[in-house]
Amino acid sequence: MRIGTLKESYVADAALFDSRTQKAWLAIGAAMLACFPFVASDYWLYLACLVAINIASSTGLNILTGYTGLVSLGQAAFMGLGAYTVAILQIRFGTPFLLNIAAGGVVAMLGGIVVGLPSLRVKGLYLAIATIAASFIAHFLFANLALTGGTTGLSLPPASLFGTALDTSFRLYWLIVPVTILMLLGAANLFRTRVGRAFIAIRDRDISAEVLGIPLLRYKLLSFGLSSFYAGVAGGLWAYFFRVVTPESFPLLMSIFFLAAIIVGGMGTILGGILGAVFMTLVPEVLKLVFELLPGGHEMTVFLSPVRTVVFGLLIVGFLVFEPHGLAEVWRRIRRFFHLWPFRN
């Protein structure tokens, strides 16, 4: 049983990490993340980078959908905006990669604000469908503008840091993971501030929030902008990771993937965005491993992709029906069990 977590000041009460145990675990986690690239194989490093990119993007969507209550099915399109910005800047101007990624975030943010403009008039599912429309229009522009290289897309050179090309998963890990952690800390802190609290008030009841003096349009657009900024940065990282950006790289299915990730992880918690992204990225890989172990070998592999689709859908439905608060709630239950042990909760 955990004792002695008495709080004596408001600062302690509002602290992001409140107990010594938690800080110790976080330090261990950080150390493990730092050691990971030296022990893991290329395949696991590849997965780690992919997971980190997905965490960044789903955290962004969590700000918009989980905390502000605005459902968006356009997250992939905003990632696309970020990725294209990075690719164009890198190819045409060769500017430093951190600047490119930041620019990708800003361009996606502007796109998000434009898409968010109807959000004051349309709500809920109408808004979700408006964002589908936006992502189709974005796809059309990516495929038909001269700037974006049409359907063949753009291939970009690797990012380089002091003359070293960041062209392997090992090297990119040191770019992608720190950026993601920085963005996670930013998101976690956001909800201790005035802006973040306003988002939560809007989610709970937007008319009440307006009555309490929160300008709805400004904060809804801000939420759209922040969420798209996250998507844009994630898209920029994505561009450096895969180094080919095509219109087909960011389909509607990818937006659904991020929405599924925050549902499975738990909407409206930072931990949920992380857990959901990790889980949803790893499930297809686990399925692949299972299929390799199955008897029948190669004949079974034709079923891999459809079975993935079914499992993807079953996860969404199953979590909504049986565990609507997602993996974060499961995690909290486990934690509570250990905190209260040997007493029953």
Partner 1 sequence: MDWAYLFEIALTGLAGGGLYALAALAFVLVYKATRVVNIAIGEMLMMGGYLFFAFAVSFSLPVWLAVPAAVLGCGLLGAIIERTMIRPLLGEPPISAFMVTVGLASILVGVVEVIWTADQRRLPEFFPNQPVMVGDAFLAPKVAYGALAAMVLIAAVLLLFRFWRGGVALRATASDQGAAYMMGIAVPKVFSLAWVVSAMIAAVAGIVVGAIGGISSSMGVFGLSVLVVVIVGGLDSVLGALVGGLFIGLVEALAGAYLGGEYKLLATFVVLVAVLLVRPYGLFGTHEIERL
Q: State the residues that interact with partner 1 by CB under 8 A.
A: 71, 118, 121-122, 124-126, 128-130, 132-134, 136-137, 140, 143-144, 205, 207-208, 211, 256, 259-260, 263, 302-303, 305-317, 320-321, 324
Closest to partner 1 by CB, 138 or 172: 138
How far apart CA 277 and CA 180 sit, in angstroms, is 12
Instruction: Please give the span between the terminal C-alpha atoms of the chain, in angstroms, as a whole number.
Output: 11
Of 18 and 248, the one with the shorter C-beta distance to partner 1 is 248
Nearer to partner 1, 167 or 210 (CB): 210
Rounded to a whole number of angstroms, the minimum distance from the CB of residue 142 to partner 1 is 12
State the nearest-atom distance from the C-beta of 325 to partner 1, in Å.
Answer: 11
CB 121 to partner 1: min, Å: 5
Nearer to partner 1 (CB atom), residue 187 or residue 267: 267
- DSSP 8-state code for residue 157: P
Least Å distance, CB 261 to partner 1, is 12
Helix (H, G, I), strand (E, B), or coil: what is residue 172? Answer: helix
**Other C-beta atoms within 10 Å of 65: how many?**
25
Query: Which of 139, 151, 142, 141 shows the shortest CA–CA distance to 253?
Result: 139
Q: Which two tokens stand for residue 151?
A: 């359907």
Alpha helices, DSSP H only, in the chain?
10-14, 20-39, 42-61, 75-92, 97-116, 124-144, 169-190, 194-204, 206-211, 216-242, 252-265, 270-293, 304-322, 326-340
CB nearer to partner 1: give 1 or 302.
302
Closest to partner 1 by CB, 166 vs 206, is 206
**8 A C-beta contact, residue 111 and residue 228:** yes
Which of 249, 279, 251 is CA-nearest to residue 264? 279
- Min dist CB 136 to partner 1, Å, is 5
Return d(Cα 230, Cα 233) in angstroms, integer.
5
Minimum distance, C-beta of residue 190 to partner 1, in the bound complex (Å): 22
